[in-house]
């Protein structure tokens, strides 16, 4: 049978132009997750050139022996700054391996972890079945709110985003377990494992079990009896208890004071502080102005201001509102409990050897609860007052824009020690002179001795027993040739710290320059008594003996110096 042959000039069939119109539309919800992730990266990338600050950055990294001489054995058998955080030190060791003392590698590490955390927060909100229209703004606020800057821009604060990463993973895996998904017990094991890793990054992770209870209330567990539900919490609480006790031990080993009576607060005042602190944090999230590296609870005429006494009333009112409207506005109770569960151990019930009774970085995960309330509350107001929905949305957009600008500005404040400390001083937070002391050290490090001396003097005016201010100011006076002033400061310092061999040696050298040989000899004797294995001290004392004509003693000291140098 003959085939039908198409004529050469016959028109070729073309695909219909209507095909494109029937293509599947782009699912923008699928790509929405990348909006906060990209914003987080771009925002905090503006701080990659920030320097290391004098606020524990060097002590945590380049002055930490397990970072500069890394080994798995030493990193898990070491305390630093009163902390046990081996995974954090592993992160620092990796950054040190790449860039040594270059601050860029440490900032990049924090940036990448925060960016990943933003992705995890978005996924967590999806698993909690938060309305799609609210997930994006909540995740964006987590990504770029100014209260997050301290956690991400502060090199010594890296433990916060790191432990938060493992905590968020623990939440995610636990929700898979509670939802009775395939391999649920594997998910439970992973949640427990992530929790242990979070505690190894920072002890603040011990709040995870409390948050799991809130998550179960937020999204009711499927096919879990009450016994199964509470039984699942037990291993988490036992691990939390162990790491909590380890933290107290590590603080005590560092020589820090642990207890409720530290910093001069009574039991009643501690109650007021505990009520005031969360309200203070919420206010800073709503109005993120004057954020500082340090906040103080200051008394006026020996008494806390009226706001502290009002705080228990406000806390009670919030608790009543959360309970009263738990049916029509459950987001209020859920958001507040999520917030409180994540800052519980950071509330100032007691002092664990740190001046940080209140700090921005305590809110890194906790802020999610407040952002959830803000997003749900705005939508509820728009539904209740539809005629004002446009105005409410405009106010929200303006606030969002302000948050964005303030975050960028706060990152710049963390560019170096001087700017971050000056910001606290300008906002009235001195920490009993510590802020001036810290800025004075920073000025001294960059060769600005006059500004340094002024700050050390201001620190001493605030606290006459600020011993390190005398030490540093005395050293600067000595460099400037102001020997009498230097000697007065160093002698004052050694009355406050009698075991500082270096300062006794400097005192002896000043006496030598002043040709006061008996006083110099006495100071060198004190130096050697404190540190009898320092060859340089014997060499220096030999010079004094020579100048005083004691040849036999001079030779004995030189022989001892050679003996020590030969070891």
Asked if the model's pLDDT at residue 394 lies above 80, the reply is yes
Asked if the model's pLDDT at residue 253 lies above 80, the reply is no
Q: For residue 144, what are the CA distances in angstroms to 64, 147, 281, 297?
A: 30, 8, 16, 27
Give dist(CA 113, CA 37) in Å, integer: 11
Asked if the model's pLDDT at residue 403 lies above 60, the reply is yes
- Check residue 254 and give its pLDDT: 66
Token pair listed for 479? 């460099």
- Show Cβ contacts of residue 368 under 8 Å, excluding neighbours closer than 6 positions: 121, 138, 142, 338, 339
Query: In this predicted model, what pLDDT tens digit does every residue of 454-478 receive, in sequence order?
Result: 999 999 999 999 999 999 999 999 9
Max mean pLDDT among 35-44, 68-77, 78-87, 528-537 falls in: 35-44
**Band of the pLDDT at 11, cuts 50, 70, 90?**
very low
Give dist(CA 18, CA 267) in Å, integer: 76
Cα-Cα-Cα-Cα dihedral sign, residues 202, 204, 206, 212: negative
- Show Cβ contacts of residue 5 under 8 Å, excluding neighbours closer than 6 positions: none
Asked if the model's pLDDT at residue 208 lies above 70, the reply is yes
Pairing of strands 351-352, 258-259: antiparallel
Asked if the model's pLDDT at residue 366 lies above 80, the reply is yes
**Band of the pLDDT at 30, cuts 50, 70, 90?**
confident
User: What domains appear along the chain, each with residue ranges and CATH number?
Assistant: 31-417 (no CATH), 430-493 (1.25.40.10), 498-567 (1.25.40.10)
**Band of the pLDDT at 250, cuts 50, 70, 90?**
confident
**Band of the pLDDT at 17, cuts 50, 70, 90?**
very low
Judged by DSSP in three states, 303 sits in strand
Secondary structure in 3-state letters for 481-548: CCHHHHHHHHHHHHHHCCCCHHHHHHHHHHHHHCCCHHHHHHHHHHHHHHCCCCHHHHHHHHHHHHHC
**Band of the pLDDT at 28, cuts 50, 70, 90?**
low
Q: Calculate the average pLDDT of the chain.
A: 89
Asked if the model's pLDDT at residue 566 lies above 80, the reply is no
**Band of the pLDDT at 351, cuts 50, 70, 90?**
low
Q: What is the pTM of this model?
A: 0.88
Percent pLDDT > 70 in the chain is 92
Asked if the model's pLDDT at residue 3 lies above 90, the reply is no
Give dist(CA 465, CA 104) in Å, integer: 37
Give dist(CA 342, CA 351) in Å, integer: 18
- Check residue 8 and give its pLDDT: 40
Angle among Cα 281, 437, 409 to the nearest 5 degrees reads 45
Phi first, then psi, for residue 258 (nearest 5°) are -120, 130
**Band of the pLDDT at 224, cuts 50, 70, 90?**
confident
Q: Which residues pair with 300 in a beta bridge?
A: 303
Asked if the model's pLDDT at residue 355 lies above 60, the reply is no
- Check residue 352 and give its pLDDT: 55
Give dist(CA 26, CA 156) in Å, integer: 43
Asked if the model's pLDDT at residue 414 lies above 60, the reply is yes
**Band of the pLDDT at 255, cuts 50, 70, 90?**
low
* 8-state DSSP, 400: H
* 8-state DSSP, 441: H
Asked if the model's pLDDT at residue 21 lies above 50, the reply is no
Q: Which residues pair with 258 in a beta bridge?
A: 352
Asked if the model's pLDDT at residue 532 lies above 70, the reply is yes
- Show Cβ contacts of residue 318 under 8 Å, excluding neighbours closer than 6 positions: 336
Query: In this predicted model, what pLDDT tens digit does every residue of 121-175 receive, in sequence order?
Result: 999 999 999 998 999 999 999 999 999 999 999 999 999 999 999 999 999 999 9
- Check residue 287 and give its pLDDT: 97
Tokens 């085939």, located at residue: 3
Query: In this predicted model, what pLDDT tens digit does every residue of 485-497 receive, in sequence order?
Result: 999 999 999 999 8
Phi first, then psi, for residue 329 (nearest 5°) are -135, 65
CB atoms within 10 A of CB 406: 19
Query: In this predicted model, what pLDDT tens digit does every residue of 45-74 receive, in sequence order?
Result: 999 999 999 889 999 999 999 999 988 888
Max mean pLDDT among 24-28, 120-124, 247-251 falls in: 120-124
**Band of the pLDDT at 431, cuts 50, 70, 90?**
confident
Percent pLDDT > 90 in the chain is 72
């Amino acid at each position: 049978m003959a085939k039908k042959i198409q004529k050469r000039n016959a028109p070729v069939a073309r695909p219909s132009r209507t095909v494109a119109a029937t293509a599947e539309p782009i699912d923008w919800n699928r790509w929405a997750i990348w909006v906060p992730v990209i914003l987080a990266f771009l925002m905090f990338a503006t701080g990659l050139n920030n320097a290391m600050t004098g606020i524990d950055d060097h002590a945590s990294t380049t002055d930490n022996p397990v970072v500069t001489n890394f080994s798995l054995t030493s990193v898990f058998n070491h305390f630093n700054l009163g902390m046990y955080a081996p995974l954090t030190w592993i992160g620092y060791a990796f950054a040190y391996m790449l860039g040594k003392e270059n601050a860029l590698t440490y900032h990049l590490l924090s940036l990448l972890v925060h960016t990943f955390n933003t992705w995890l927060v978005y996924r967590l909100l999806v698993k909690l079945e938060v309305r799609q229209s609210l997930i994006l703004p909540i995740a964006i606020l987590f990504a770029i709110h100014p209260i997050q800057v301290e956690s991400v821009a502060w090199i010594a604060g890296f433990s916060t985003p790191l432990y938060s990463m493992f905590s968020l993973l623990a939440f995610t895996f636990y929700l898979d377990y509670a939802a009775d998904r395939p391999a649920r017990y594997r998910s439970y094991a992973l949640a427990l494992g992530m929790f242990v890793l979070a505690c190894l990054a920072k002890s603040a992770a011990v709040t995870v079990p409390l948050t799991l209870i809130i998550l179960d209330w937020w999204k009711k567990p499927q096919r879990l009896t009450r016994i199964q539900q509470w039984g699942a919490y037990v291993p988490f609480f036992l691990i939390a208890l162990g790491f909590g006790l380890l933290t107290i031990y590590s603080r005590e080993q560092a020589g820090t004071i642990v207890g409720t009576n530290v910093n001069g607060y009574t039991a009643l005042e501690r109650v007021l502080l505990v009520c005031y602190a969360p309200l203070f944090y919420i206010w800073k999230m709503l109005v993120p102005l004057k954020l500082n590296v340090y906040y103080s609870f200051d008394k006026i005429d020996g008494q806390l201001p009226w706001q502290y006494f009002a705080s228990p009333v406000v806390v009670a009112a919030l608790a009543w509102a959360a309970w009263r409207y738990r049916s029509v506005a459950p987001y209020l109770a859920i958001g507040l409990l999520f917030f409180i569960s994540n800052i519980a151990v950071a509330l100032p019930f007691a002092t664990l050897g740190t001046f940080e009774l209140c700090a921005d970085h305590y809110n890194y995960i906790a802020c999610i609860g407040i952002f959830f309330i803000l997003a749900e509350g705005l939508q509820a107001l728009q539904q209740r007052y539809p005629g004002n929905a446009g105005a409410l949305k405009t106010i929200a957009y303006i606030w969002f824009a302000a948050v964005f600008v303030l975050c960028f500005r706060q990152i710049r404040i963390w560019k170096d020690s001087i700017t971050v400390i000056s910001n606290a001083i300008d906002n009235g937070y001195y920490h009993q002179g510590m802020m001036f002391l810290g800025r004075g050290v920073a000025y001294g490090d960059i060769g600005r001795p006059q500004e340094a001396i002024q700050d050390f003097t201001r620190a001493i005016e605030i606290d006459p027993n600020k011993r390190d201010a005398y030490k540093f100011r005395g050293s600067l006076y000595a460099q400037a040739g102001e020997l009498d002033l230097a000697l007065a400061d160093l002698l004052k310092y050694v009355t406050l710290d009698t075991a500082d061999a270096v300062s006794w040696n400097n005192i002896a050298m000043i006496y030598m320059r002043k040709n006061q040989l008996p006083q110099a000899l006495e100071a060198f004797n004190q130096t050697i008594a404190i540190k009898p294995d320092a060859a340089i001290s014997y060499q220096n004392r030999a010079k004094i003996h020579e100048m005083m004509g004691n040849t036999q003693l001079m030779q004995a000291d030189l022989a001892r110096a050679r003996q020590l140098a030969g070891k």
